[in-house]
Chain A
Amino acid sequence: MIVESKTVRFESLPLDCGATLAPVDVAYETYGRLNEARSNAILIAHALTGDAHAAGVSKVDGKPGWWDSMIGKGKAFDTDKYFMICANVLGGCRGATGPGSVNPATGAPYATSFPGITIPDMVRLQKLLIDHLGIERLLSVSGGSMGGMQALEWAASYPGVVVSAIPIATTARHSAQQIAFNEVGRQAIMADPDWNEGNYYDSKPPARGLAVARMVGHITYMSDESMREKFGRRLRDKAKFGFDFSVDFEVESYLRYRGNQFVGRFDANSYLYITKAMDYFDLSDGSGSLAAAFGKGSTRYLVISFTSDWLYPSYQSLDIVQALRGMNRDVAYCELPSNYGHDAFLVDVGEQTEVVRGFLASTFKARS
């Protein structure tokens, strides 16, 4: 499946911070066909560093989508049955308006004059896209990590639109630990002199800072067990320690590689803005009561967590499930066994495929 992103421009988008962005671009991809009843559309929301290219092979660079294991012919999100949509999030750097976009008022990139954004802002932009595509109801909204937050926000904000939601490895509110890890990443970027208060678009980007932020991120996406299995204490291309701060261990080499690779495809300011949006996320809006946030809609939920995910631990998924159950809402929940930590929703998709496929099939059958 060769795929290509499209971009659509909207006149303006009011934001939670009070500012209005105008205009706003959003890049998106679609897979499969919208049926005549327009009842088979599913929105996929990506995580922190994802993009609109969720599945298939990119026409531009030949790379597979970030959730290609889950989306496609005969897969969990079966493109023979469903019409799949994925868009770059607001504030991103992969086709959506973000801090790297040109501010029409100044003719220069927004940089840190870009307004602060939230998960609900991202969802509002996606709603414009869905309206633009002529879709009134979404059979499902799904995503892992920050994508799961968007799925929860969708169901809370537009209960009449969202038939079902599949939040995976996620939370209804960012915890102190999650905020703390994001802050380390942001500090790494801002401590890099090349960051230059965010104004680096006509010079050198803060590559070192962004790479370190990515390294921290990667550690939190894995588990102790998966790191032991993958790297152990193995040395990289040497038999003895170097005693010189060059790469000794395999794990160092891996993190450096991942960090450097990331710099080529991601904008440091986008990283700052999007991690803040995650940290601001609290579906209960500070009230502490999730039940009120979920309201009275009829959205069906499938909540999934993973045993070794310590970044978004199962108790956070259970909080969501308990709140829904307290309102006697239709919710299925399972904690899938995996050693892959938070990354499990991307890389360990066997059991995830079975539950998502069955849940979608019964939802589709009941609502069409």
Chain B
Amino acid sequence: MPSTASDARRRPFVTDILGRSDYAIISELIEPDSRVLDLGCGEGELLQWLVQNKAVDARGIEIDGPKVQRAIARGVSVYQSDIDQGLTGYPDDSFDYVILSQTLQESRRPLEVLREMLRIGKHAIVAFPNFGHWAVRLSLLFTGRSPRSRCFPHEWYNSPNIHFLTIRDFETLAREQRWSVERKIFLSGRRTGVFLANLMAEVAVYQVRK
């Protein structure tokens, strides 16, 4: 099932993943035959790909009913819940990887979600749009309005994003929480280097563990 145009605007990173070239990023991170939970898994495209290509044991959580239906119709075990509440039921260390792609900034209690991810999973893979990107900074500076960019296309009043964070914010949090950052990958259209990442990267992907 192809994503709709509005989905593509809202979830650029997922769209990138589906555009083949960025499968490489996730496949680099996720070991074959592992247990994977994808939070906010949408229609389950990524999980289906991981099942087919990495033989993972895949589970997903998604709040949107029609997306849950389409994910199940793809054969992916998804259940309908929001991620702020949905993780508490899992026992500790249920998964090797817990993925949170482009949803951290939409969650009500992002720190709780991250902690839960690291309770139920060995590794947390978190992808988020970087609020420190130069386009965001310039947008605020020059327009004097809530910044809009490719990754933040919404008006302030209809944005699903309620917690804005930068790459530096995430690094600081990881240090405070004593998480070890195992991998980090920065994207700006295509992959970018670590140099001036907080200014240059539109999207960051972190793999952390406790």
Contact = CB atoms under 8 A, between A and B. Distances in A.
Nearest to B62: A334
A335 B73 contact: no
A327 B94 CA distance: 9
Contacts of B77: 300, 330-332
Given A334-B68, A358-B72, A328 B90 contact: yes
A351 B69 contact: yes
A101 B132 CA distance: 77
Contacts of A365: 75
Nearest to B93: A328
B65 interface: yes
Interface string B59-80: 1000001001110111111111
B19 interface: no
Given A337-B65, A357-B73, A321 B90 contact: no
- Chain A CB count within 10 A is highest, among B76, B77, B94, for B77
**A interface bracket (residues with beta carbon within 8 Å of B):** 20 to 34
B89 A354 contact: no
A326 B90 contact: yes
Contact of B79 (A333, A357, A361): A333
A355 interface: yes
B91 A355 contact: no
Contacts of A355: 69, 72-73
Nearest to A335: B80
Interface of B: 57, 59, 65, 68-70, 72-80, 89-91, 94
A359 B75 contact: yes
Secondary structure of the B contact surface, majority rule: mixed
Interface of A: 300, 302-303, 321-322, 325-328, 330-337, 351, 354-355, 357-359, 361-363, 365
27 contacts: A300-B77, A322-B89, A325-B89, A325-B90, A326-B91, A330-B59, A331-B77, A332-B79, A333-B78, A334-B69, A334-B79, A336-B69, A354-B69, A354-B73, A357-B73, A358-B72, A358-B73, A358-B74, A358-B75, A359-B72, A359-B73, A361-B75, A362-B74, A362-B75, A362-B76, A363-B75, A365-B75
- Chain A CB count within 10 A is highest, among B75, B90, B91, for B75
Nearest to A328: B94
B67 to A, nearest CB: 10
Nearest to B35: A328
Contacts of B57: 330
A325 B37 CA distance: 12
Contacts of A361: 75
A357 B70 CA distance: 11
Nearest to B57: A330
Contacts of A300: 77
Contacts of B89: 322, 325-326
A339 to B, nearest CB: 15
A326 B94 CA distance: 10
B72 A334 contact: yes
Contact of A302 (B72, B74, B80): B72
